[in-house]
Structure 1
Amino acid sequence: MSKTLLVLRHAEAGHSFSGDDFARTLTESGQAQACQVGRWLLGSSCVPEMTVVSSAMRTRQTSIWISHVLGDQAPTAELDDRIYLGSEAQLCSVLNETPETVSTLLLIAHMPGVQELSMRLTSAESQESAALEMATQWPPAGLARFELSKPWAELDGRDAVLTDFVTAGSAR
C-alpha cells in the first residue's frame, strides 16, 4: 500500500524578546502561509489522516491554521516533545511509530531537522528539481511530499520518493 509523508517546516514566526524560543508565535504572514499550505493540501487531494507536531508554540499554531482550512477533514494533531530540536534520527523514530493504518501523515517540525530528515529519506527516484530546491533552501512553511511503499516502521533512509517541494508562495 502506497503511503504519503508530508514534512512541513512551521510557518513564519516572530522573534522572542524574552529569549524563549519555544514560545515564539506566528506572525500575521505566518498565519497566512499556514492557510496557504492547508489550501494546497486540499487542492492536491493530500489531506493527512494523522498530524504529528512539535510541542513548540509556532508549530502548534501552524497546525491550527492548517486545520482551520481543512475543516472537518482535519485530524486532531498529536504533540510530540521529541520533535522540538529533534535530530533527523529522532524525527525518523517518530515516523517509525506511525500506525500502519495511516496512509497520509503530516509532520510539522523545525529547521534543521525537517531538511536533514528529508535529505536522509530522499531516494534516487525522487523528482530532481524538487530535491535540489529542498536541499538548497527550506523557507518557513516549506513542504516536502514523499511517496513510500514500505511500512512506516521500516522507513530509514533513501527509501521515500520526493514528488513535490512547495513553498507558501507556490502553494496558493
Structure 2
Amino acid sequence: MSRLYLLRHAVAAWPQPGMKDFDRPLEPAGLVDAKRLGGVMRDRQLLPDRVLCSTALRARQTWAELAEGLGMSADRATYLDELYHSDIGTYSDLITDAAGNGSLLVVGHNPMMEDVAIALSAEGEAEARRALRAGFAACGLAVIDVDGPIDNALPDMGYLRMFLRPQDLNGL
C-alpha cells in the first residue's frame, strides 16, 4: 500500500497590472492555511516521502509553508514546470514516473488536482467524497491510498481516505 497526497496551492492574490499568472503570490491567509495544514499532517502522521511541486510562485510558497508546518525542509521538493501548464495525462505520467516506494505529495493547480483525484478514487470515505464533489478548495488536500506502489495508480484504483480543506482544520 502506498499513499498519494494531492495538494492544490493555497489562496493566491489576484494579479497586479503587468503581472504574469505564474508570478502570483499567496495571500496572507493562504500562507497561514498552508502552514496549519502542514501541522495537521504532521500530527496525523501524513508525511510524504517525495514531493513534486509546480514552479509557479503560489505553489512554491504553499510547499514552503506546508514544509515548515510538517517540520521538513522545503529543499526536498522536485520542481516541475509541467505541473503549471499540463493536462491530466501529463499529471498522471509525472505521478507514476516519480513513483517508487512510499508516499508522494504533488503540489499543483486546478482543474488538474480535482481531475486526478476524481479519476484515481472510485471509492472512498463518504465524507471525503462529499467534500471533494463540492470542489477542490484552495489548499485542499486529497489523501488517496493505492494498492501496491504509486505507479499502480490507475483510474478508479485508489481509495480516497480523506479530503481536508482549510475550513476543516479548525477542530483538528
Superposed structure 1 runs of 4+ greater than 4 Å apart: 72-75
- 1:132 Cα offset (Å): 2.4
1:24–1:58 Cα contact (<8 Å) kept: yes
Q: 1:108-165 CA deviation, whole Å, 9 max, x = no partner?
A: 11010100111100123x1123112202212110111011113322322001100101
Instruction: Provide the residue aligned with 2:129 in structure 1.
Output: 131
- 1:98 Cα offset (Å): 2.0
- Secondary structure (helix, strand or coil) at the match of 1:84 reads helix
Matched residue type, 2:6: V
In 2, the alpha carbon distance for the partners of 1:55 and 1:132 equals 30
1:39–1:171 Cα contact (<8 Å) kept: no
- Secondary structure (helix, strand or coil) at the match of 1:4 reads strand
Instruction: Quote the sequence identity (%).
Output: 22
Residue segments in structure 2 that go unaligned for 5+ positions in a row = none
In 2, the alpha carbon distance for the partners of 1:40 and 1:74 equals 17
Deviates more, 1:27-36 or 1:83-92: 83-92
Matched residue type, 2:26: L
Instruction: Provide the residue aligned with 1:164 in structure 2.
Output: 162
Instruction: Provide the residue aligned with 1:117 in structure 2.
Output: 116
* TM-score for both structures, normalised by structure 2: 0.92
- 1:73 Cα offset (Å): 6.7
Instruction: Provide the residue aligned with 2:64 in structure 1.
Output: 64
Instruction: Provide the residue aligned with 1:3 in structure 2.
Output: 2
Instruction: Provide the residue aligned with 1:143 in structure 2.
Output: 141
Cα RMSD over matched residues?
1.5
Deviates more, 1:132-141 or 1:107-116: 132-141
Kindly tell me the number of residue pairs found equivalent between the two proteins.
Answer: 169
Find out whether 1:40 has 2:53 as its counterpart: no
In 2, the alpha carbon distance for the partners of 1:72 and 1:142 equals 19
Q: 1:26-63 CA deviation, whole Å, 9 max, x = no partner?
A: 01000001011101111110111111001100000000
* TM-score for both structures, normalised by structure 1: 0.92
In 1, the alpha carbon distance for the partners of 2:104 and 2:71 equals 17
1:49–1:75 Cα contact (<8 Å) kept: no
2:5–2:105 Cα contact (<8 Å) kept: yes
In 2, the alpha carbon distance for the partners of 1:108 and 1:19 equals 22
- Secondary structure (helix, strand or coil) at the match of 2:85 reads coil
Instruction: Provide the residue aligned with 1:51 in structure 2.
Output: 51
Q: Structure 1 residues 64 and 74, CA, compared in 2 at 3 Å: closer, same or farther?
A: closer
Matched residue type, 2:127: S
Q: Structure 1 residues 72 and 58, CA, compared in 2 at 3 Å: closer, same or farther?
A: closer
